[in-house]
Structure 1
Amino acid sequence: MTTDSLPLTWIKSSYSGNGGSCIEWAPAHAAATGIVPLRDSKAPQGPSLAVPAAAFASFVAGVKAGEFRA
């Protein structure tokens, strides 16, 4: 499934500051479809990712748990 044909309301991550390393996501689409659209806030016309909600939740849990190193 692609997100190209659906109108999306994008929001910036609440953890994003003004440093420029920000992602945006479309929570209403995620809730309705189980697919989490993600994009770079600096390039809103660029490509986006569509990730299954369960996989995205696992990724976020891993980040919070410190499983990924910089």
Structure 2
Amino acid sequence: MTDAEWAQVKPLLPVPAWLEGRGGQPEGYCHRQMLDAIRYLVAGGIAWQAMPADFPVWYRVYAFSAAGGRQD
């Protein structure tokens, strides 16, 4: 994802609960990494478990996509 794309997408994502003082823990991966992984998955048509090692682990990416961007 380019910096210009990220600048347009970032405001659309929910703010993590821990940043708003609603509890929870800081996330292990940034939203940009998660979105890059989802885009890779969709573009390549690969299975979740086939996610390359340079992306977050597949089950964290899956949980991020299923939660609509929330990880709290």
Report the TM range for the smaller structure's normalisation. under 0.3
Which structure is higher in strand share?
1
More helix by share: 2
Higher relative contact order (CA 8 A, sep 6+): 2
TM-score (normalised: structure 2): 0.24
